[in-house]
Structure 1
């Protein structure tokens, strides 16, 4: 038997270190070739690290949240044959536990503290995961556990890499539990607390938001829009072309309105390098689509929105958003935007104050569409209304220009035929 060492790979673009986000294996696991062993995060994206060999995991090179240098030892695997790593002379088997080989002390195996399945129907103490250890489970399992008042850290997972399945929830619910894993009564006094390490994507989001609020001179502008005609057009297009071209949401119409309006406001489709004191105005409109995933907010990019039709832009928005939600988006798909569009859909509220996605200088926010009475020509009529809550970098964008830009977007959306007049 030999030892194969996987080192932290060079992901490219001059990156010298990455953050270890999550392990999918533990010491003692037997893994297959091409099996993903860990997720690591760069400044832009989460990257899966597969194993090039089959074998048994001997040691892990770090804890989630740890920043590791490119080229450092990530994981050590016992393999058939000689492997790619030569250890120093080791003690005889009988002495191995007392005197491990020096080369093996470089990485200490990480202790496991996962709960074990109960062997009977009698109450058994529940051994929780470590506070920093996020249980693996699908969104459906997480929602079911939340509805049932169950903390997943107390549930044993029988799936791959300890993933919690619906069957594991069934087993957990069916047997008596100690008070440790149960939700408290409605008026019960609670003394528990939980510490959640800020690592991985959450750390990147926190850093970017803090940097944006510290460096950007934010100001927001809110305007209401009558989208009655736009919504009627969308429904007509979906009825006629939905089966053949796909259903349209409001987003591709908003993107089209931004593209047309930006022709007269190039200073808003721009990025600002505040260290070099250079503003770059872009001809191409690369729209960042703020997307909420299970792990946090990401901004995949719809490239060259100015060249796409409603349906091609809609398809690309759906594709990059899905890639971001499933943590499959590449670095290229998460970088290079020139202006961002953010929407909370039905949760959009009345007004929001979105944070500019630096180094951009503008972000357009979409609030909830509602029907309400509006006075038109002295008559009270019911119209579909929606607010745009947008923020700008006041160092680059003047208030008058921001207001005129949003008014131009408003005019295009209220008279949607103008979206397609060249």
Structure 2
């Protein structure tokens, strides 16, 4: 492939792949996608056998045999990163839109990506993800243990599923250690696919559909010629309230979007015993799911003398942990809206502002995956529905990776036309060469 054809192909691909603004219209469910888009014709070092073996059923590893105790630092780092990221996302919003993100989905997707990072890129990601002081084996084993604990839920009223998969172009491979860590610690299904086959995207989408209870039917619209790997995390949650709301008590009440703008909205009402906390600035309540209340829905309502903007100024992981210790059982009455919302955001700027700028640049070092990779785009989608029965929620995170060597700008050239030359006039739309000639002695 000559340089000009490649340059044209790359430009067209980037315009088509990343030039479209995002909409907020995705359906309920969750899928975190790590998309590796390699823009180039050079072959990545072949290792088909490792991928082929990884896609087959594997014997039980020592990791699976022993009981894993999660490092509490992993949960703390995920939460701290989540609050920081939420704060960054808020900066770009004028308070007119619903914002709903899944820190766990984003953290898991970036933790898997972190396994391929090296050098200063790894250090920058560690700072952003609040992973400083935790080495990679500790990070992976702790995530494995956290995922195991999250999925250990005998409560029939609560469903939580988390699944990971890695889909690789059968003509390309990545570092075997990277693949093995993804499989061993994140329990990823590893498979080879012929990305040139039109059915490849359907195979991936069917896996996502199955692991999101049919709520997301398509996460991969199409597989571009330069893409070599999809690393996907799917999360789905559905929980029934420990005490469901009586539908007959749901009625239209005013909801104040702003102090001067109100609308009539269906509101659910209930009274009972709740874990409750009240400060000078806000009221807060915990609504549990299932029989044991392992998972709860927390609502923080700024008082009329305050507002959400003031609340967000105090929203950080330190205050959150302090607030969590202040809840006490108390009788009360609650009225809250029945609602459904979805949200989508590109996280590039937020992550750069949090210290990960190098990971998006030509200086990025993802040598743990292969050579000359950088993150091109991080997208996040969520959905939340709250009704009388309970809550259904989901999230999707997509991390795109490109080959940095193909983004390097060539050295400036010098062309001195001081001798006979050939020239042509071409219609670039049709490709027709309208004129051509040899200029030996310009007059």
TM-score by length of 2: 0.25
Structure with greater strand share of residues: 2
> Which structure has more RCO (C-alpha within 8 Å, separation ≥ 6)?
2
TM-score by length of 1: 0.26
